[in-house]
Amino acid sequence: MTKTARSRTSGRATLADVAARAGVATMTASRAISHPDQVSAALRARVQQAVADLAYVPNRAARALATAESNVIVVLVPSLSNAVFTAVLAGIQDALEADGYQILIGNTRYSDAEEEKLLGIYLQSHPAGILLSGLTHSEKVTQLLASSNLPVVSMMDLASDPNRYSVGFSQLQAGYTMTRYLIDKGRKRIGFMGAQLDERTLKRAEGYRKAMQEAGLYDPQLETMVSDPSTIALGAELLGRMLAVTPDCDAIFCCNDDLAHGAIYQCQRRGIAVPERLAICGFNDLPASAWMNPSVTTIGTPRYRVGYEAASLLRAIIKGTVPAQTRIDLGFTLMARESA
Amino acid sequence: MTKTARSRTSGRATLADVAARAGVATMTASRAISHPDQVSAALRARVQQAVADLAYVPNRAARALATAESNVIVVLVPSLSNAVFTAVLAGIQDALEADGYQILIGNTRYSDAEEEKLLGIYLQSHPAGILLSGLTHSEKVTQLLASSNLPVVSMMDLASDPNRYSVGFSQLQAGYTMTRYLIDKGRKRIGFMGAQLDERTLKRAEGYRKAMQEAGLYDPQLETMVSDPSTIALGAELLGRMLAVTPDCDAIFCCNDDLAHGAIYQCQRRGIAVPERLAICGFNDLPASAWMNPSVTTIGTPRYRVGYEAASLLRAIIKGTVPAQTRIDLGFTLMARESA
DNA sequence: CTGAAAGCGCTTACAG
DNA sequence: CTGAAAGCGCTTACAG
């Protein structure tokens, strides 16, 4: 394999090298690669051969600079270990990959500071649009977003401001629905177990409070809220705390399934009958919830679709389409099972 | 806020705009931003003010082109819904983020074709290095890698070729160890339940076979292998299949915890005593394994550390350090619990 | 269908 | 400590 001179800087074959080897002008080589139909078959073949010979890989930075076009889309999620967000991500990938978008995934770890930092860095890639988790962000993030003037779609909850794009479902409504379900089942001393205390948990807690207050059942003692990341282990621990504070508690609404699973496992170890003595329910319907014994009553959430629809909406906005609606409500489903 | 003229193409403030507003040369503005210490305090302040006034965001593509340096690192994982790889990713982020690397995460979905496609695209970003999952890749991927001439570190298993960089542990050895544990417990008819059939599962199966053969216990009937993604639901289903084929089976080694959880839940539903009638163990020690009832015997794997160490090794190679060893064995831990 | 030239926005030795 | 000039690798109207 004979090699043409390579650029000194990158050590890689450049378009100019390809052109030289194919015996054409650089711009012709460019066209043969980017717009193969605008070029004669013979020339196309020659350029392709040169590309293969030199193992030419286009330089994306140069292309981005020259075209001032961007095919990158930034996605910021608060966690990668949470199955909810990996499902969202899968939806995004499925919606976007056919169009050749490059997805820049940022894990903010539920931290405002991290979100600011990542956004600052990713903005340098001049993305075409941004997919954000949640509605509430720090002032700095809000500013960065505003001055970037880029299309933004928020995922997971619904914005009240009609000028913002959002795809998700009402976290508050879901919290309310689950609580009403427990009340309708005759439970009186219903506890709320919350961890992480992110925006969504807080909204679910709000829905819980609303339902409890309406029913005249509200008692702040019944709320156990901690800011630690929510895990099975934490659910097991919080069950103990909850029962210590309110021993007469007869149901627990966990802000998510991990917590619920941990609480149920702990009940099993302590010989507390679920749901007879204590009803326990979760949120998100993780795979284990349908299989555990008892199976777990929870809220099924359209997380994959949230990602898919949010990405589709963003794509439409980028392409200049005016979307029919700025907020897409994907709803949620109460999955009544054995645990409550 | 007065605006200086903006570039026609991108519509954004450029370094030249910043320089003009600060009343300095472009290159001076560049220096004030990139090497603040090489510039007088007064000038630095003026430039920073201009940056703030114009909400200037550097163009990463231009920088990349001009420096021919790359701070991007490509990471290819086979799944984002598998907790193993999200832990690996967390380790990578922790190891790299302080150095200002930009991580490009690609989800190959256990597909060679997808891996080729993603690698081809990501190579265009001229990464500084690549982190790959597994040792076995398609010929096209191998070729792309070779002609890219980039440092590559493989994660999850150990390469036999000392010229390749790898960080992980012996999947085969781990499979062997778990099987020996069951044999030592007096089990004779030990089944192997495998899904996805990726490289790692196959290696674990190999270890299983080796141990069974050594003990004169091997029987191909005892292997249930399917290529579907491994889930709790699949574990539940495969338990049924396994017991239909080999009703005298007295233990099952599941290639991962999801499968084991599903199998155990199914046993509970069918009234099969675990471990008395049937011992069940898994692989990876997912959080639920320690909490379920019975708790699950499994292999603890250093996935976070795999990511962390692999990224650290790659960073060292990129910086030109010659690493002490090309393969880093992080080992694994047998977690003997109640289910087996 | 093919090519000459300018420019995208930044940085880097080299001078002053 | 500050600046003039060239160049990174590609693409895009505009001609021929």
pLDDT, position B27: 87
> Which of A58, A81, A102 corresponds to the end of one domain?
A58
The CATH number for A200's domain is 3.40.50.2300
| A65/chain B closest Cα distance in angstroms | 6
Q: Which nucleotides of strand D lie within 7 A of protein CB?
A: 1-5, 7-13
The CATH number for A19's domain is 1.10.260
Cα separation, B26 vs B30, whole angstroms = 6
**Residue in chain B nearest A100 by alpha carbon:** B121
Burial B64-102 (b: 16+ CB within 10 A, else e): bbeeeebbbbbbbbbbbbbbbbbbbbbbbbebbbeeebb
pLDDT, position B3: 32
N- to C-terminal Cα separation, chain A = 70
| A269 pLDDT more than 70 | yes
Residue B250 lies in a domain: yes
Nearest one of B75, B77, B81 to B286, comparing CA atoms: B81
B112 and B42 share a domain? no
> Which structural domain range is residue B130 located in?
70-169+304-331
User: In which band, very low, low, confident or very high, does the pLDDT at B9 lie, cut at 50, 70 and 90?
Assistant: low
CB of A232 within 8 Å of a chain B CB? The answer is yes
Residue B143 lies in a domain: yes
Cα separation, B122 vs B129, whole angstroms = 11
Segment A93-99 shows an average pLDDT of 89
pLDDT, position B5: 33
Please name the residues between 281 and 340 in chain A that touch chain B, using a CB distance below 8 Å.
287-288, 290-293
B313 and B278 share a domain? no
Q: How many Å from the CA of B270 to C1' of C11?
A: 70
Best residue in B69, B116, B125 for a mutation probing chain A (most A CBs within 10 Å): B125
pLDDT, position A198: 96
**Average pLDDT taken over every residue of chain B:** 92
| B163 pLDDT more than 80 | yes
Cα separation, B212 vs B190, whole angstroms = 8
- Determine whether the interchain pair A124/B58 forms a contact, defined as Cβ–Cβ distance below 8 Å: yes
B141 and B188 share a domain? no
Residue A52 lies in a domain: yes
pLDDT, position B296: 98
Pairing of the two strands A298-300 and A333-335: antiparallel
| pLDDT > 70: percent of chain B | 97
A202 and A284 share a domain? yes
Segment B306-327 shows an average pLDDT of 93
CB of B262 within 8 Å of a chain A CB? The answer is yes
User: What angle, rounded to 10 degrees, do the helices at A15-22 and A26-34 form?
Assistant: 100
pLDDT, position A94: 93
pLDDT tens digit sequence for A270-327: 999 999 999 999 999 999 999 999 999 999 999 999 999 999 999 999 988 888 899 9
**Residue in chain B nearest A74 by alpha carbon:** B104
Residue A199 lies in a domain: yes
B176 and B296 share a domain? yes
pLDDT tens digit sequence for B243-281: 999 999 999 999 999 999 999 999 999 999 999 999 999
A101 and A217 share a domain? no
Residue A28 lies in a domain: yes
- Determine whether the interchain pair A87/B105 forms a contact, defined as Cβ–Cβ distance below 8 Å: no
- Cα B271 to Cα A6, A51, A107: the distances in Å are 70, 64, 43
CB of A4 within 8 Å of a chain B CB? The answer is no
| B283 pLDDT more than 60 | yes
pLDDT, position A128: 93
Host H or E run for residue A31 = helix A26-34
Pairing of the two strands A333-335 and A327-329: unpaired
Cα separation, B76 vs B145, whole angstroms = 13
**Residue in chain A nearest B62 by alpha carbon:** A65
| A178 pLDDT more than 60 | yes
User: In which band, very low, low, confident or very high, does the pLDDT at B97 lie, cut at 50, 70 and 90?
Assistant: confident
If one counts the domains in chain B, the total is 3
pLDDT, position A220: 96
Q: Which nucleotides of strand C lie within 7 A of protein CB?
A: 1-5, 7-13
Which residues of B are less than 8 Å from A125 in CB distance? Answer: 60-61
Nearest one of B105, B98, B56 to B77, comparing CA atoms: B105
Residue B35 lies in a domain: yes
Segment B144-153 shows an average pLDDT of 92
A108 and A80 share a domain? yes
pTM of the entire structure?
0.91
Residue A337 lies in a domain: no
Residue B64 lies in a domain: no
| A105/chain B closest Cα distance in angstroms | 7
Q: How many Å from the CA of B97 to C1' of C16?
A: 40
For chain B, give percent helix, strand, coil, nearest 5.
50, 15, 35
A286 and A181 share a domain? yes
| B4 pLDDT more than 70 | no
**Average pLDDT taken over every residue of chain A:** 92
User: In which band, very low, low, confident or very high, does the pLDDT at B34 lie, cut at 50, 70 and 90?
Assistant: confident
Which residues of A are less than 8 Å from B11 in CB distance? Answer: 149
Classified as helix, coil or strand, A71 is: coil
B134 and B123 share a domain? yes
Q: How many Å from the CA of A4 to C1' of C4?
A: 22
| B8 pLDDT more than 80 | no
Q: How many Å from the CA of A17 to C1' of C13?
A: 26
| A5 pLDDT more than 90 | no
A251 and A296 share a domain? yes
- Determine whether the interchain pair B126/A10 forms a contact, defined as Cβ–Cβ distance below 8 Å: yes
B165 and B176 share a domain? no
| A7 pLDDT more than 60 | no
A78 and A161 share a domain? yes
Segment B146-161 shows an average pLDDT of 94
Most confidently modeled range among A48-57, B58-67, B243-252: B243-252
Q: How many Å from the CA of B28 to C1' of D4?
A: 12
Best residue in B15, B51, B57 for a mutation probing chain A (most A CBs within 10 Å): B57
Which residues of A are less than 8 Å from B59 in CB distance? Answer: 65, 124, 126
| A1 pLDDT more than 60 | no
| A10 pLDDT more than 70 | no
